[in-house]
Chain A
């Protein structure tokens, strides 16, 4: 099968490859770049386990061809921590608030929450629930995910922090 040349920035690093046009972005990330943080959960764009950030928007990378990301700027869970290894406020908050259990949805959920807080730095509970409704979690019942996003938002805004998870 013929290939196409793509070049993009992934977590701040330039990446180039010759790939099949039908290759999905999620497979490009997971299998060509060994970035296995994003997962595949449903194949139909419902679960959001594959969510990454492409040019400042949340995308479900199981429904984007890798060639569509040509020239783009990608952020994945592997790029969330600082260069010094310090965790992002959202990563800290998810642990602090017990916002994950099996961990399978977590990378997509954190990436989605990250974009949500870029779009709306002070979301209400309702706005958070709506904002993450494209990302499914089977373990937590979302309550602690909402708390974690609020916690991270407060920290990023320098507001006093809320109580930890029960």
Chain B
């Protein structure tokens, strides 16, 4: 049977459109080792760059001597701040309105800071030569504890800006202070606390962690002196932004810069920013006239490019005696490291932390965030979450559990009582967001039923009794979390990066034979964009996904976009894709009407064709229309069938979910075993359920890593002590639990296809769920809050402190 006569359902199925568990097109090359990652690139004459780095966290540079390094055969050049300064490139602007040293000039401010860049003909020689760069340092006192950063006698870290009383985000109170960001109604919140029947207050710290994608940051820069053009292949989550920044700081015109992000081996926020390695490789290529490759090793990755969290949140909740929340107050001390290189939209120095009222109906709230400098690596990226949303979710979800404990209520019951109700959407939160849609109670009740929540609580009670009788040494914890993400940044009225509005884009071209190429401003790092965007187009245009090529990452061909992070690809570029497709369909309708000799209002769309209303035998398929678009368009119409859309979202999207976790904790070893983890996610319309499940598995595993073991830790001298995979925890298949996933579907009312984004939800909801489970195990012994990460040693210490080993 030909496509022309197949049933509607059969034709729909053939498209592999929205809702199809379509196998990924990317996999064909990846399973054969034929991916094309940055380090796979081999250009003739490539040189290799490597850094000499500071062994100290805070020290004055007395002298740099590269004589021995330069004398090593194979070494082409050595760059230091002295070489970059005349070019005005020894500092670079950060996304947060600060500057960051590309190569340290007078001082180093964190361990492993970049001091010199060695360029050699071979990567081994470059590494040898980096060791031969001699630097004389004078050690200075360090600031490692953010709570001591603003002490009157604290050493001044940033001498380059020590006299600036005004930063990019307002007044600075201390030379080590970056900004104060305040939102909400302080007065009304204070009043609510004064009237509160019950209140809780807890310092909830979220440790410094690192996204640690399996591929580190890397690039190849190639400057063509004849044409005056620069091409950079790199691990860029946001290639267009990199192009604009490169143009602004190098003064090479933007049209002469070509940024190419090939296949990327995971990003998770690590590859959003611009790093000294990129700048040095570019300068080195300009200086030498040859391509220069820079590839981080793992230690460099964990200790220099990006970190996440390091948020110290003092949370207070006011509530009535029967458990209705009346106010939330949070103060955050944010450790930003040596330079404020947070990857947030420019006007949001604390990201979207004001989502901290979470999924609950708080009448009033007030938040204040103080950012401080310390002798740690710069960064502040969103590690698999929208900007500072994981911090907010962890804060409110721990605080709600602590409130439940104070009230003597079940944590799930307390949540059910305070969740925003379905009829309140669109919901205006006390801290300024408009939540687009949700059906929270249904989600939580379904999760509780699915996992057998009440039975688990009975079992826990019995276990506690047995423990107290000395019959078992194992405690049982049940963790509940309910999260609301805020993704899809974002509307141009409040979101920009360095002045560029955070729209995103899609360009679709239909070829005469009905096959398609689509190009987008986002960049997949494993999310499967080549597969899913094609599904959106397939459903919108009635052309099979297998006939659609999706391309991203080349700034010469892709329309301008702000890139992939903060789960923004589906909410923003996915919307642009649907809108561009709809422009094409509108033109196709006119072409079809012309061919069928009817008015375009007399046509209706069905799966893959326009048919004449009331006369379904007369129709033109999209494939036929595509051909006609190139030879038989109506008089006065331009030939061709293509469209571009730049989509400025009217609002963020708000995916949500209910997670429940059961852990068993051995008090004698501190070992914690995840018995069950159930995750219900609502990401609105589901484009590819297989890929969604995969994203949830991955996000939960990263959440598990963070909650149960990850920490970028510094000793009192500022030495980073967890900078390799010997010390930094990445879960293996053995520890990783089995995941149970489920969903509800509440489409976003303002997104063209109702999709909300999903990649980061499981990290946002997962971390507090694990933490609540471990805390819950010790709750009946009077413990209120145990800090992450919940590794065996720390858990054993908790048990010891509670006197369980006596």
Contacts and interface: CB of A to CB of B under 8 A. Distances in A.
A44 B724 contact: yes
6 contacts: A91-B31, A98-B690, A102-B525, A130-B733, A135-B733, A137-B733
B114 interface: no
Contacts of A144: 694, 697
Interface stretch (B36-44, B457-465, B776-784): B36-44
Contacts of A139: 266, 526, 694, 698
B26 interface: yes
B214 A47 contact: yes
A39 B733 contact: no
Contacts of A136: 214, 725, 730, 732
Interface string A127-141: 011101111111111
A76 B33 contact: yes
Q: Which 5 A-B pairs have the closest CB atoms?
A: A37-B33, A102-B526, A104-B265, A103-B30, A141-B697
B193 to A, nearest CB: 41
A95 B29 CA distance: 10
Nearest to A94: B31
A142 B212 CA distance: 17
A49 interface: yes
B33 A43 contact: no
Contacts of B213: 102, 104, 138
Interface in A17-67: 20, 22-23, 27, 30-31, 34-44, 46-47, 49
Q: Which of B27, B695, B730 has the most CB of A within 10 A?
A: B27
Contacts of B730: 46-47, 136, 138
B734 interface: yes
A34 B39 CA distance: 11
A103 B36 CA distance: 10
A140 B733 CA distance: 10
A100 interface: yes
Contacts of A130: 733-734
B726 interface: yes
Interface in B206-222: 212-216
Nearest to B693: A166
A164 to B, nearest CB: 7
Interface string B666-707: 000000000000000000000001110111011111100000
A32 to B, nearest CB: 11
B344 to A, nearest CB: 23
A146 interface: yes
A166 B30 contact: no
Contacts of B34: 37
Q: Which of A30, A133, A134, A166 has the most CB of B within 10 A?
A: A166
B698 A166 contact: no
Contacts of A74: none
B226 to A, nearest CB: 28
Interface in A88-146: 91-92, 94-96, 98, 100-107, 110, 128-130, 132-146
A81 interface: yes
Contacts of A76: 33
B124 A98 contact: no
Contacts of B690: 98, 164-166
B734 A133 contact: yes
Interface in B15-41: 21, 23-24, 26-35, 37, 39-40
A134 to B, nearest CB: 8
Contacts, number: 184
B698 A140 contact: yes
Interface in B320-354: none
A46 B725 contact: yes
A135 B31 CA distance: 15
Nearest to B526: A102
Nearest to A96: B23
Interface residues of A, number: 62
B265 A39 contact: yes
Range class of the B interface residue count: 35 or more
Contacts of A77: 31-33
A102 B215 contact: yes
A156 to B, nearest CB: 16
B436 interface: no
Given A138-B212, A142-B732, 5 more contacts: A20-B124, A37-B33, A78-B32, A91-B31, A106-B33
Interface of B is mostly: loop
A153 interface: no
B264 A146 contact: no
Contact of A42 (B698, B724, B733): B724
Contact of A143 (B35, B691, B738): B738
Nearest to A131: B733
B32 A133 contact: no
Given A46-B725, A104-B35, A94 B27 contact: yes
B453 interface: no
A87 interface: yes
B702 A36 contact: no
A102 B689 contact: no
Contacts of B699: 141
A13 to B, nearest CB: 16
B546 interface: no
A31 to B, nearest CB: 8
Interface string B727-768: 000101110101101000000000000000000000000000
B263 interface: yes
B214 A101 contact: no
Q: Which of B268, B690, B701, B733 has the most CB of A within 10 A?
A: B733
A11 B268 CA distance: 34
Q: Which of A41, A46, A132, A135 has the most CB of B within 10 A?
A: A41
Contacts of A81: 32
A103 B694 CA distance: 13
Interface string B619-663: 000000000000000000000000000000000000000000000
B214 A137 contact: yes
A80 interface: yes
Contacts of B27: 94-95, 100, 103
A104 B40 CA distance: 12
A104 B37 contact: yes
Given A43-B299, A102-B264, A141-B700, A129 B21 contact: no
A137 B738 CA distance: 15
B528 interface: yes
A39 B298 contact: no
A101 B693 contact: no
A101 B694 contact: yes
Interface string B209-253: 000111110000000000000000000000000000000000000
B693 A165 contact: yes
A106 B691 CA distance: 16
B527 interface: yes
B23 to A, nearest CB: 6
Contacts of B265: 39, 41, 102-104
Given A34-B42, A36-B33, A22 B23 contact: no
A20 B784 CA distance: 59
Contacts of A135: 733
A98 B428 CA distance: 39
A166 B686 CA distance: 13
Given A42-B725, A165-B690, A100 B698 contact: no
A140 B697 contact: yes
Interface string B522-552: 0001111000000000000000000000000
Contact of A103 (B299, B526, B724, B732): B526
Contact of B32 (A40, A91, A145): A91
Given A98-B24, A104-B37, A44 B725 contact: yes
B297 interface: yes
Contacts of A146: 733
Nearest to B730: A136
Given A129-B734, A138-B730, A142-B736, A95 B298 contact: no
Interface string B62-73: 000000000000
B181 to A, nearest CB: 31
